[in-house]
Amino acid sequence: MAHPIKRETRHANVFTRRALLMMGGQVALLGALAAKLYQVQILQGGRYATLADENRISARLVAPPRGRMLDRFGVVLGGNKINWRALLIAEQTTDSAATLAAFSRIVPLSDYEQARIEREIHRHRRFIPTMVREFLSWEEMAAIEVNAPDLPGIVVDVGTSRLYPFNELYAHLVGYVAPPNEDDIEDEPMLALPGIRVGRAGLEKYHDDALRGRAGAVQMEVNAFGRVIRELDRQEGVPGQDVGLTLDAGLQQAVARRIGEDSASVVVMDCRNGEVLAMVSNPSFDPTLFNSGVSPAQWAEWTRNRRAPLINKATSGLYAPGSTFKMATALAGLAAKAITPNERISCPGFFDLGDTRFHCWRKGGHGALDLRGALKNSCDVYFYEVARRAGIDRIAETSHRLGLGVMPQIELPGARPGLIPTRAWRHAQGKAWNIGDAIVSGIGQGYIQVTPVQLATYASRLATGRMVEPHLTRTLGGALQLGVQAADWPPLDVPDRDIRLVREGMWQVVNEPGGTAPQARLPGEMRIQMAGKTGSSQVRRVSREQREHGFKSENLPWEFRPHALFVAYAPYDTPRYALAVVIEHGNAGAAVAAPVARDIMIETLNRDPAGRIEPPGAKLADVKSRAAG
């Protein structure tokens, strides 16, 4: 048997070795931990501090204010206003359904709205606000605040929405904005920001990128659940650029008043540089409705309206120009040497081509007329013969040079080019060109279609002899976009003598006894004369039987009556302003459109927007203050 002292000595030695092994292991572990801590806190401390901040700090984009639309004198046509809105924070109420029911008793919510709110509440975390109602009136906001104790979870927030101070007056020009759709957001992530809008029509759409601006950023401290604790830093976005337009708000209002309830369009231009001073399409619509969403009932009402309030008739309405086209026919005949200025063509009241008879508007005819007399009296037979001699291709070539039947270079999406037919166009349809089609084209009927803005451009080019183009943008972000005079536009490449002849004919239409538009003559005290041309374009054929039985178009239903047109420029000796008037189904250009053109030209000349830096009656200091604001 081993001695007891020796056994204890062996046990002590074993314990000592185990303790050393354990101590060594602990030292190794502590050393590894210390090395890791050194690496994390010393070597990579900056990196992990950044990662910690990224978890603690939430960076969010902020929608920038949208740029404004201003008229030439600084009047706001499209701006921004405060938008009061009600939000629901679900975690602050034990019963969101009861809260919404109480809210609906103050501000009624449709079943669709309530279903949409419930979906968003269940889709998002309960501390994230859900939009209940935008565009609250002051009375609605006050009622919500007064009843706040009965509306747990409801908070009133403030944002911005688009403001159109003139409502329907500029709807077709300025256009409107609407919330972005999924395709928009996919192309541009910034559009997902709350409250942001995109241009959907008019200049809002054309200048959308410039008006939209650049987003700002705000840094928020959040907890582990993403709930906001406090705001750490804010960098405001870059506001959208202001767009200065060529329009004169006062003139636009005067034009709209003169049109009244007629379904019509009017374009007024500075014929020297192409600036559009007024463009009215009636009837119109309220563009603010698109900001919050158009109801199905409202949309159905617009689309059922036979006067087409959603269409900008000035750039998209297509009309046969009627007798306003006769200057183009005359210039085409002169260019083709098919006629001479003093050649007289006899008008017995009709023009026979084979078995087909084409009538003049005057039943007994005009007798023998030269070019000036044919324009003055608007003789159809004279221009039937000119069209027969010149041919449709020469007429189309001249018309395009004058701005008809071609796409205008104007900043409005949806503008249409119209049509001046040619032999090639007809052949492309698989049909041969008919000489009878050329005959009726000479008086602006048949296949010919133009827009009112083309007619105003046409009048401007006749007045100046230059290739003037219409435009609406004057400044962008304060920088002048286009500042040209008539001499800067390329010439029409039409002999001065020929242009002078048609101008003289247009002057006789208005100012000489026997002209077709004495109603357009300017008052003698103005000491200014206007040159112009009437037009009445048929929308349905009048048969020989109807003519023989004393047919009168004014007895037809409204939609079957001819359109009434007038084009003009003034002053005659030093042209400055040109205009085009189209009264849908107005029946007679001389009786209906010419007086409207006269009154609008008087207003334009009196206001003289192209010659002013401030609107009539305004103090310069007021204008500068308004523009700055």
CATH number at residue 175: 3.90.1310.10
Report the pLDDT averaged over residues 211-216.
Answer: 82
- Per-residue pLDDT band at 54 (split at 50, 70, 90): very low
pLDDT tens, position by position, 513-545: 999 999 999 998 999 999 999 999 887 666 555
Q: Are residues 410 and 541 in the same domain?
A: yes
Size of the chain in residues = 629
pLDDT the model gives residue 115: 86
Based on the number of CB atoms within 10 Å of its own CB, is 314 exposed (0-12), middle (13-18) or buried (19 or more)? buried
CA–CA separation, 140 vs 105, rounded Å? Answer: 11
Assess if residue 150 is contained within a domain.
Answer: yes
Least confident of 112-116, 288-292, 373-377, 592-596: 288-292
CATH of residue 349: 3.40.710.10
- Between these two residues, 486 and 210, which has the higher pLDDT value? 210
- Per-residue pLDDT band at 62 (split at 50, 70, 90): low
Report the pLDDT averaged over residues 52-76.
Answer: 75
Q: Are residues 350 and 335 in the same domain?
A: yes
CA–CA separation, 352 vs 388, rounded Å? Answer: 12
The pair of structure tokens assigned to 563 is 């359109």
Task: Give the residue from 245, 275, 302 where a domain finishes.
Answer: 245
pLDDT tens, position by position, 305-358: 988 999 999 999 999 999 999 999 999 999 999 999 999 999 999 999 988 999
The pair of structure tokens assigned to 251 is 């003139």
Catalytically annotated residue among 323, 378, 441, 460: 323
Q: Are residues 310 and 215 in the same domain?
A: no
Q: Are residues 304 and 369 in the same domain?
A: yes
Assess if residue 15 is contained within a domain.
Answer: no
Task: Give the residue from 201, 230, 245 where a domain finishes.
Answer: 245
Assess if residue 486 is contained within a domain.
Answer: yes
What's the domain count of the chain?
A: 2
Strand partners, 282: 264
Report the pLDDT averaged over residues 435-452.
Answer: 95
Least confident of 7-16, 170-179, 464-473: 7-16
- Domain of residue 349: give its range: 249-611
Q: Identify the three-state secondary structure at position 588.
A: coil
Report the pLDDT averaged over residues 208-212.
Answer: 92
Assess if residue 55 is contained within a domain.
Answer: no
Residue-wise DSSP of 85-152: EEEE-GGG-S-HHHHHHHHHHHS---HHHHHHHHHHHHHS-TTS-EEEEEEE-HHHHHHHHHTGGGST
Q: Are residues 257 and 229 in the same domain?
A: no
Percent of the chain surpassing pLDDT 70: 81
pLDDT the model gives residue 467: 95
Catalytic annotation on 323? yes
Phi, psi of 61 (to 5 degrees): -80, 150
Which has the closest alpha carbon to 376: 519, 514, 565? 514
The pair of structure tokens assigned to 11 is 């046990």
Q: What is this structure's pTM?
A: 0.81
Q: Are residues 163 and 279 in the same domain?
A: no
Highest-confidence range of 5-9, 79-83, 142-146, 470-474, by mean pLDDT?
470-474
Based on the number of CB atoms within 10 Å of its own CB, is 453 exposed (0-12), middle (13-18) or buried (19 or more)? buried
Q: Are residues 205 and 335 in the same domain?
A: no
Q: Are residues 235 and 308 in the same domain?
A: no
Q: Is the pLDDT of residue 46 over 80?
A: no
Q: Are residues 223 and 347 in the same domain?
A: no
Assess if residue 507 is contained within a domain.
Answer: yes
Q: Which residues are CB-neighbours of 166 under 8 A, at least 6 positions away?
A: 77, 249, 252, 253
- Per-residue pLDDT band at 621 (split at 50, 70, 90): very low
Residues 63 and 193: beta-carbon distance below 8 Å: yes
Q: Is the pLDDT of residue 250 over 80?
A: yes
Least confident of 54-63, 157-166, 463-472, 509-518: 54-63
Assess if residue 624 is contained within a domain.
Answer: no
Assess if residue 83 is contained within a domain.
Answer: yes
Assess if residue 23 is contained within a domain.
Answer: no
Q: Are residues 460 and 522 in the same domain?
A: yes
Tokens 């205009």 -> residue = 579
The pair of structure tokens assigned to 419 is 């049509």
CB atoms within 10 A of CB 32: 10
- Between these two residues, 218 and 501, which has the higher pLDDT value? 501
Q: What is the mean pLDDT of the chain?
A: 85
Q: Are residues 256 and 232 in the same domain?
A: no
Percent of the chain surpassing pLDDT 90: 54
pLDDT the model gives residue 552: 67
Q: Is the pLDDT of residue 221 over 80?
A: no
pLDDT tens, position by position, 543-575: 555 555 455 667 788 788 999 999 999 999 999
Task: Give the residue from 186, 221, 245 where a domain finishes.
Answer: 245
Element (H, E) at 607: helix 594-607
Q: Is the pLDDT of residue 380 over 90?
A: yes
Q: Are residues 183 and 293 in the same domain?
A: no
The pair of structure tokens assigned to 124 is 């998002």
